[in-house]
Amino acid sequence: MAILKMEDLDLKGKRVLIREDLNVPIKAGQVTNDTRIRAALPTIKLALQAGATPIIMSHLGRPQEGVALVDQPEASLAPVADYLGKLLQVPVNICADYLDNPDNAIPEAGGITLLQNVRMNMGEKSNDDDLARRYAALCDIFVMDAFGTAHRAQSSTHGVAKFAPAACAGPLLSRELDALERSLKSPEHPVLAIVGGAKVSTKLEVLENLAKVVDQLIVGGGIANTFLAAAGYNVGQSLYEPDLLHSANSLMEVTSIPLPEDVVVACEFSESAAAQVKPVADVQNEDMILDIGPRTATSFAKLIGDMRTIIWNGPVGVFEFEQFASGTRAVANAVAANSGFSLAGGGETIAAIDKFGVTDDVSYISTGGGAFLEYVQGAELPAVAILDR
């Protein structure tokens, strides 16, 4: 792909409109996880240091288009503006009327502007051209840096790139794409993918695409139950998908998928459920599989240790409950201890990595959830494709 990079452009004196994904969790007006905000800082600092006029835009949540902020105050990016100001130590102008009064989008010298939630604008989600033209009119250069939203073709991620005088990729987007390419297109072998989560059906294309490129595939959570059932084991009351047994068998023919030899079961799904370790062949009709067992955790950890590239999405057990957390903890520690290249993505995976304190030991943690999965399943990211011209 021939994509212009922000680093290669002369930004001095230019109005630079940067699309970030600042869609972060907010509770009672406070940012509760700042990963995406911190990931965007190098891009914003680059613009400031280069003497550009930075105008940042993002969505937050899924508000209603055309409905005023007073009627949906939870849609406001104001807490993010405050947070950005504290981290950057520069004035942040949060601007709501930028479509009608574009001059208001210009920050004071040395400061930045954060445009209010783009998803409140009529036409944003349908990628309306008129709206895209109005975003484009705010800038000399459009910088697409929102990897987490690159799978959405919307006015602020896709349309704007068509009409802006220049459009390029920001450093965060470039880093994300490089990490994905390094893991999937030109990886050092052996390559392992760990895919957990509730359902095979939601990740079937991800599994199929990975099976073609990896040497080993570890499946976890409800996904593993479907593979166990396909291999002929009784999975009791566990979540599994009978319709997908055939798909599971086909995947096991294409690539090596080691199945758990022991599991942690309970009779109910709850924080206080009594956990019991069993060989997988001893699972009873009333049992629910909620984690891998200790023997499996040890053998998966050994396997992980032998790999040179690891792609991780999804926990292997109900790690939120302590008695079912050991499997995911063992996986997290083994990924952290691996000296090769490790890439992790998706909200639950990042929560697990955070919980087990190994954030600094994973080579690259993606800011994308849906976008990460779309890329891994081989889909084109429209907001990246539009930059390629």
Asked if residues 296 and 281 have their Cβ atoms less than 8 Å apart, the reply is no
Nearest distance from residue 24's CB to ligand 3PG, in Å?
9
Give Dmax (Cα) for the chain.
70
**Is 370 assigned a catalytic role?**
yes
List, in order, residues 6 or more apart from 49 with CB less than 8 Å away. none
* Chosen from Mg ion, ligand 3PG, none, partner binding at 287 (C-beta under 5 to 8 Å by type): none
With CB under 6 A as the contact rule, which of the stretches 86-94, 147-155, 204-212, 310-318 interacts with ligand 3PG? 147-155
Q: Does 317 bind ligand 3PG (CB under 6 A)?
A: no
With CB under 5 A as the contact rule, which of the stretches 33-41, 214-222, 226-234, 362-370 interacts with Mg ion? 362-370
Q: Does 148 bind ligand 3PG (CB under 6 A)?
A: yes
Asked if residues 114 and 106 have their Cβ atoms less than 8 Å apart, the reply is no
**Is 182 assigned a catalytic role?**
no
List, in order, residues 6 or more apart from 198 with CB less than 8 Å away. 221, 222, 223, 239
Say if strands 30-31 and 112-115 run parallel, antiparallel, or are unpaired: unpaired
Nearest to Mg ion by Cβ — which residue? 370
Q: Does 157 bind ligand 3PG (CB under 6 A)?
A: no
Tell me the number of residues near Mg ion by CB under 5 A.
1
Q: Does 152 bind ligand 3PG (CB under 6 A)?
A: yes
- Nearest CA to 293 out of 202, 228, 373 is that of 228
Q: Return the bridge partners of 27, or none.
A: 30
Tell me the number of residues near ligand 3PG by CB under 6 A.
8
Calpha distance 144→158 (Å, rounded): 9
**Is 199 assigned a catalytic role?**
yes
What residues numbered 22-81 form the site for ligand 3PG, per CB under 6 A? Answer: 23, 62
With CB under 5 A as the contact rule, which of the stretches 51-59, 72-80, 330-338, 370-378 interacts with Mg ion? 370-378
Identified binder of ligand 3PG from the candidate list 370, 377, 379, 382, rule CB under 6 A: 370
**Is 36 assigned a catalytic role?**
yes
With respect to Mg ion, which residue has the nearer C-beta, 74 or 306? 74
- Would you report the helix, strand and coil content of the chain in percent, each value rounded to 5? 45, 15, 40
List, in order, residues 6 or more apart from 112 with CB less than 8 Å away. 44, 47, 48, 54, 55, 56, 84, 88, 90, 91, 92, 93
* Chosen from Mg ion, ligand 3PG, none, partner binding at 157 (C-beta under 5 to 8 Å by type): none
Tokens of 39: 């990931």
With respect to ligand 3PG, which residue has the nearer C-beta, 179 or 350? 350
Nearest distance from residue 313's CB to Mg ion, in Å?
14
Residue with tokens 């069993």: 278
Q: Does 190 bind Mg ion (CB under 5 A)?
A: no
Q: Does 370 bind Mg ion (CB under 5 A)?
A: yes
Asked if residues 349 and 356 have their Cβ atoms less than 8 Å apart, the reply is no
Q: Residue type at 248?
A: A
Nearest distance from residue 59's CB to ligand 3PG, in Å?
7
Active-site residue set: 36, 199, 347, 370
Residues found near Mg ion in the complex (CB under 5 A): 370
**Chain positions contacting ligand 3PG, by CB under 6 A:** 21, 23, 62, 148-149, 152, 369-370
